[in-house]
Amino acid sequence: MSSGRFENRSVYLTGAASGIGQATAVRLAAEGAHVFAVDVNEAGVRETVAMIRDAGGVADGGSCDVSQMESVRASVSCAVQTFGGLDILVNAAGVGRMGRFEELDEAEWRRIMGVNLNGPFHTTSAAIEHLLKRPKANIVNVASIAGLRGQAYNSGYCASKAGMLNFTRAIALEFASRGLRANCVCPGGVITPLLQHFVPPEGFEQQILSYYFPPVPGQMGEPVDIANAIAFLASDEARMINGAALVADFGVVA
């Protein structure tokens, strides 16, 4: 595996067992990053780590529930011990589903917030002291175009991703003078395991279908497309970009 923009830089990456998280772990490792991959799906993490090592990269990781602070603190501590520090934090873990608001109970609301919003708070809280020790350290959070505007049948997910966006902006401003950047990538539809949970319910109003899909019918992103965007934001090439929301959606929001 060849070196590149992230040679000898350490990355802590959540949601690494599949989809965008897995693609990002592989992408960053391909450019020399030492990747500590975590997910609640431990078998998926082992698969991701094996993929990177088989390609000649450096990776380790394990199980972590980002909704639980103690789990995150232990995991980040292990990452720092493994690689000697931390340069980049990528929050790619996410959950959600499309459904009517009347069917959204408190347990589901808490689950969505626990992963999508509390998760980045937990990881940032645990990682910040380590990131601040490294020059050019940064955070990239995977938000969504659902955080930029309302979407019918998606209230919990929209709220969590909007919260993530402004949390990221606040962190970006607070730590800019100390050399830390924080940005979001906001994907549209991407073919991942999570996508199956966003199938429109029966009776979905046809007049708002166009609100979800790109101008060119059938256009869907691949995990590697978002991984490429994350790699750019995490790299020194994006040194002027801070507190931004990079939209990758084939023009849906436009």
Catalytic residues: 157
Token pair for 215: 């101008």
Give the strand order in the sheet containing 138-142: 58-63, 34-39, 10-14, 88-91, 138-142, 181-187, 245-248
What is the SS3 assignment for 61?
strand
Token pair for 231: 């790699």
| Residue found under tokens 């007049």 | 207
Q: What is the dihedral of CA 171, 30, 227, 5, to 10 degrees?
A: 50
DSSP for 213-246 reads S-SSTT--B-HHHHHHHHHHHHSGGGTT--S-EE
Contact 176, 242 (CB under 8 A): yes
Name the DSSP class of 12: E
